[in-house]
Amino acid sequence: MSTHDDLRDIALNEFASAGYGGTSLQRIAELAGLSKSSVLYHYSSKEALLEAAIGPAIDRMMEILDLIEGQPLTGPARVAFIEQFVDFLLQYRLEVHTFINQGPSLEDVPVVDRANSLVFRLGNFFKSTAATVEDQLRFGIALGGAAYVLSAPHDETVPEPPVDETRAALISIVSELLAPVSLRSAS
């Protein structure tokens, strides 16, 4: 992997765990075995690093939203969306965790504005298909919970489960969480 991509990955890891404001260019440089000047050679600013780190995830989520926005989430379309959504979370877990949790406090960074409007669109989309308070909570828990569980540090004394198993379990859980009240049996 190129130094350029290395830096992006290191920065993403730090942004996700220590926060954007809590991560210094010096720290990224140390983790990469470079000087701070070298980091700024590859990326013109700290903001540019953030853009490189979370930009692709935002673009991808925009694509998914464009596909499903406006149409009802029933039948095979619903299953397909949930699979896409879970795969998106698996691929961009650190990115999602980063802009989900810190987006609101970084309001005037351009790439974060895109992320925030994305979350807003996502919320509106589910508000249109899930009218009750509980359904909206369910959506939020699925999103925030999956992002948390996928980016939480892993217990190193035990091997990580295979990704296929995680994916299947996630699809099952998210399907359950996003099932509309009307299709659910009363508790």
Partner DNA sequence: ACAGTCGCTGACCGATCGGTCAGTTACCGT
Partner DNA sequence: ACGGTAACTGACCGATCGGTCAGCGACTGT
Q: Give the C-alpha separation, 154 to 122, whole Å.
A: 28
- From the list DNA, a copy of itself, none, partner contacted by residue 83 (C-beta under 5 to 8 A by kind): none
Q: Give the C-alpha separation, 14 to 64, whole Å.
A: 27
- From the list a copy of itself, DNA, none, partner contacted by residue 46 (C-beta under 5 to 8 A by kind): DNA
Question: Closest CB to a copy of itself among 2 and 187?
Answer: 187
Q: Give the C-alpha separation, 53 to 56, whole Å.
A: 7
CB of 38 to DNA, least distance (A): 3
Sign of the dihedral defined by the CA atoms of residues 181, 182, 183, 186, in that order: positive
Angle 124-174-85 from CA coordinates, rounded to 5°: 65
CB of 62 to a copy of itself, least distance (A): 20
Per CB under 8 A, residues contacting a copy of itself are 17-23, 97, 100-102, 104-106, 123, 133-134, 137-138, 140-149, 152-153, 155, 161, 165-166, 169-170, 172-173, 175-177, 187
